[in-house]
Structure 1
Amino acid sequence: MTLPRFYPIFDTADWLPRALPLGVKLVQIRAKDRTPEDLRLELTRARDLCAAAGAQLVVNDYWREAIDLGCDYVHLGQEDLDEADLPAIRRAGIRVGISTHDHAELDRALSFAPDYIALGPVWPTILKKMKWEQQGLDRVSEWKRLIGDIPLIAIGGMTPERGAQAFAAGADVVSVVTDITLNADPEARIRDWLAVCATAKAPA
């Protein structure tokens, strides 16, 4: 399965009218601290915007809502795997991505036959505190060797320059959050990212 190589993550669908017209084809909505009604409205809007742009929507965590709304992907963290109904997600035709940080988590993730594996943080990130400070490019290469044809997504501390290094190390896709959302010119930064992703060599 081939995924678009650029994978931005946003906390609101308000970003999508800015990103999708530039050519973004894979996007995650990581909505936090919403009422059930607001969450459903947010994800419905994101789903419809992505569908109109020919883009794929990844819903972070909220697998029930993703099933109800017929979204493309669900992204699950390790803690989400304790409660998520993977058979129900699969029956709904929704693809699954799973976060990993160490070998035990990778083994667990692979047992669910995911549609992609995410590894992070490759570089230190300001997005959230976690016990894994920096995985590094060697870990990217190792993960790719271990998972084979499953797409590998690198995340954490990314810039376009670092993204190119992650691709060279074996990542199939690079995921970006604050490098866009905290940038003074997010649209220009997205264009930079799309250019890097268009010229990066595919993993061997």
Structure 2
Amino acid sequence: MSAVTDQTGQGPLPRFYPIFDHPDWLQRMLPLGVRFVQLRLKDRPVSELRAMIRAGQDLARAHGATLIINDHWQLAIEEGCDWVHLGQEDLDQADPAAIRAAGLRLGVSTHDRAELARALTLSPDYIALGPVWPTILKQMKWHAQGVEKLTRWKAQIGAVPLVAIGGLTPQRADLALAAGADLVSVVTDITLNPDPEARVREWLGHLA
């Protein structure tokens, strides 16, 4: 696996990278062994966002996990977070220099070559590509990218870790990793599962 290390710098991160929309999910999933996780919070008042980010950070640290904050880079800086993830639209409003000056590590979403070129100018700590398979997470203009594009992306980004996202299942994860992904990011395969805890245990066992 590529040189992504945990927040203590003691070794490679797990390949499993789930995304949740509330710290309550972290309370359920971190005890199962999730160690690299994103908190994706949308459309909430700033005071509520701050409280949720703070709660997520407390949970992550209590379980020795690394928390990535989606989008809210200013709050992530103020709350002493370790990572932030920015989509292309988020980048339009963000201050990458301030993020770096605060010591945060940075992940960036990409979909096409122009976005990849833009992301690489920021020296990101990982680059995400998606949706690799069709996804129901949100409406987007991008069709499924396919595993072949993961291979092309990895050839271009070299040592920068590559995250595959979009329509992932444990079986599809094998294809993504074989194509060049270093991490696989999962959302609805867990959150819409009738037994999310069992599904996370399956993921962790599959990628062990």
Alignment TM-score, normalising by the size of structure 1:
0.95
The residue that corresponds to 1:183 in the other structure is: 193
**Among 24, 37, 40, the residue aligned to 1:27:** 37
* Matched AA of 2:95: D
* Matched AA of 2:205: A
Q: Distance in 2 between matches of 1:192 and 1:93?
A: 34
The residue that corresponds to 1:150 in the other structure is: 160
Instruction: Note the aligned Cα RMSD (angstroms).
Output: 0.8
- Please show how residues 41-120 of structure 1 align to structure 2 within 5 Å: 41-120=51-130
Alignment TM-score, normalising by the size of structure 2:
0.93
**Among 3, 10, 14, the residue aligned to 2:24:** 14
Q: Distance in 2 between matches of 1:89 and 1:54?
A: 23
Query: Secondary structure of the residue that 1:24 maps to in structure 2?
Result: coil
The residue that corresponds to 1:159 in the other structure is: 169
* Matched AA of 1:74: V
Query: Secondary structure of the residue that 1:153 maps to in structure 2?
Result: strand
Q: Which runs of 5+ in 1 are unaligned?
A: 199-204
State the Cα deviation string for residues 14-70 of structure 1 (Å, max 9, x = none): 001111011100111111111111110000000000011010010000000000011
State the Cα deviation string for residues 129-185 of structure 1 (Å, max 9, x = none): 111110001001111111000000000001111111111111000000000000001
Q: How many residues align?
A: 198
Q: Deviating runs (4+, > 6 A) in structure 1?
A: none
Query: Secondary structure of the residue that 2:207 maps to in structure 1?
Result: helix
Instruction: Determine if contact 1:164/1:196 at 8 Å carries over to the other structure.
Output: no
Aligned-pair identity in percent equals: 64
Query: Secondary structure of the residue that 2:14 maps to in structure 1?
Result: coil
Q: Distance in 2 between matches of 1:63 and 1:72?
A: 11
Q: Which runs of 5+ in 2 are unaligned?
A: 5-12
Query: Secondary structure of the residue that 2:68 maps to in structure 1?
Result: strand
Query: Secondary structure of the residue that 2:88 maps to in structure 1?
Result: coil
Q: Distance in 2 between matches of 1:141 and 1:194?
A: 24
Q: How far does residue 4 in structure 1 lie from its aligned partner after superposition?
A: 2.3
